Structure 1
Amino acid sequence: MSSIRTSRRRKTAGAGLAALLLAAGAAGCGTEKSPSMSPAAAVAKAAKNTEDITSFRYRMTGKVPEEGRVKAEASMRTKPTVAMSMKITALDQGADGTAEIRLVDKAMYIGGGAAAAKEMDGKSWIKFDMSALGDKGLGGGTPGAGQADQNPATESTFLTGAKDVKKVGTETVEGTETTRYSGVVTLKDLKASLKDKDKATREAREKSIKQYEKLGVDELTMDMWVDGDDHTKQFRMKGEADKGPLDMTITFLDVNKPVSVTAPPAKDTADLAEMMKKALDS
């Protein structure tokens, strides 16, 4: 009788162990990632996911033509209206190389602090009407002005236009495990890749492409770091422009969190349009 009870206990324990192993296996199957995508497919999926991003905070470091080395941190939202706040330093421009830029209500405000106030009757901000500037943009001269109205989430999708996307390996970026991909994309190929995109996506990417055309960049070498949720965590773009090398790295610090940007006080702001009108009337 004792041997029968022992046998039953062994069977019960064996059944329990088998159930435990099956459960563990089922859990493992549930959390196991799908078969590895090709590098091109992984990059395309991350690019697709940018369409769900309406706000983000990011860091920018590198080198841009004319301005030289720059570093910046910014917050941007794309809906319901476009707004951006950036603090940027052009490291090669000395004391005059630091500025704060705000983009809100279709106007760009550039603040230079006390140094700017000395030149503008005590006003530390200058206002540019972006709608009046049209496609001319702000160009160089003011640190970061040329990059301020560009959407880095849109630019992060550029690698989808490359024909030679390859997986480089895995790396940790800001404490996040990522997979790094690399490739070379020409602006010609990038334009060609837009033909099947919807109107909004196509227009957003065409706007970004124009910025590189203005710089005289024909080809970009690009690296893209994609996290476990198939979102771009970081990307780097390198190219040769008419007025020097371009080498810029954008790191996304968070996404889809509230971004609020307000215009500087009117008493501290000089309106460029009004300044020009006064100059013409004098």
Structure 2
Amino acid sequence: MRRMAPALALGAAALVAVAGCGAQQNTVALGNVKLAAADAVQQSAQKAEAVTSYSADVVLDTKGGGQQGSGKVQGSMLYQSQPELATDIRLDTINFGGQNVPGGARAILTDETVYVKSEMLNRIGGITKPWVRVPLSQVGAEGQAEIRKFMDQARQFDLAGTVKLLTASKDVKAVGTETVGGVDTTHYSGTFPVAEAAQLVDPAQREKLQEGLSHAKDVKFDLWADAQSLPRKVTLSGSEKDATFNLTALFKGFNEPVEITAPPADQVDDLPKGRTGN
């Protein structure tokens, strides 16, 4: 179960296309246009793809599968794609198997470099400064296991990838209207088959998604989209044998200016080679 949610997140981050859906004869008014629910989800995915900046609050809970399978990750994210790609991710709570990561963790991606702030990582690497600098090209390299784990967890915040997963659904329907964060939205609910969602994933990540969700046939989702089709809230839930996961993501600040800067140079150190596990 510990692998399920990170694998799902990897799939969301790696999606490169929108899947075709079987159209439901369940329509909803969007402005002056009536769309089938499946078409509305497709449109929401397209709108999410075009967003250049946003902020998100995310909570992931896993339960069952023994003590090692239960845990919680909670945090927030700032994202921008222009004028250059940059993210600032804070994981205030990281708990798996009853063990807390003290102080949580934070990662800033800018200028092709990842800066990570983590008490645990500093202890493992013997680092005295608050931040660790790792070139993005080295994140997947041997000896960067702790960095990779953190980045896998952080991918749960991805807006466009998360919504694209939902387009694999063949049973989505509109279930009503609700207010999310003070914004009027239409609520959609459905499931997407894991096997088909896996086909949307970059081949390099497909095996991880299929392995992590090998016993989960379908993933249930709920989407709350506003009048402009922008996704304001997404929930994902699923089960694998006797374990379950629930992911809730709230999105806001679409296309608003964000401030993402690298930490001061005197607070940054380089990660020593060979000091983290494989």
Secondary structure in 2 matching 1:228: coil
Contact 2:77 2:90 in 1 (8 A): yes
Q: Whole-Å Cα distance in 1 between the matches of residues 251 and 208 of structure 2?
A: 21
Q: Decide whether aligned partners of structure 1 residues 278 and 189 sit closer, same or farther in structure 2, where only a CA change above 3 A counts.
A: closer
Q: TM-score, normalised by structure 1?
A: 0.69
Larger Rg: 1 or 2?
1
Letter aligned with residue 185 of structure 2: T
Mapping of 1:127-142 within 5 angstroms? 127-134=133-140
Deviation at 1:261, TM superposition (A): 1.9
| Structure 2 residue aligned with 1:153 | 160
Contact 2:143 2:273 in 1 (8 A): no
Higher relative contact order (CA 8 A, sep 6+): 2
| Structure 2 residue aligned with 1:17 | none
The unaligned stretches of length 5 or more in structure 1 are 1-31, 195-201
Contact 2:90 2:106 in 1 (8 A): yes
| Structure 2 residue aligned with 1:240 | 239
Name the structure where helix makes up a greater proportion of residues: 1
Deviation at 1:94, TM superposition (A): 3.8
| Structure 1 residue aligned with 2:254 | 255
Mapping of 1:74-223 within 5 angstroms? 74-90=77-93, 92=95, 93-94=99-100, 96-112=102-118, 116=122, 120-134=126-140, 144-149=150-155, 151-192=158-199, 212-213=209-210, 215-216=212-213, 218=216, 219-223=218-222
Secondary structure in 2 matching 1:69: strand
What's the CA shift string for 1:188-218, capped at 9, x where partnerless?
Answer: 22255x5xxxxxxx86xx7886764463365
Q: Decide whether aligned partners of structure 1 residues 278 and 38 sit closer, same or farther in structure 2, where only a CA change above 3 A counts.
A: closer
Q: CA RMSD in A?
A: 3.7
Q: Decide whether aligned partners of structure 1 residues 231 and 209 sit closer, same or farther in structure 2, where only a CA change above 3 A counts.
A: farther
Q: Whole-Å Cα distance in 2 between the matches of residues 66 and 107 of structure 1?
A: 32
Deviation at 1:62, TM superposition (A): 2.3
| Structure 1 residue aligned with 2:72 | 69
Secondary structure in 2 matching 1:96: coil
**Which is worse superposed, 85-94 or 73-82?**
85-94
Deviation at 1:135, TM superposition (A): 8.6
Name the structure where strand makes up a greater proportion of residues: 2
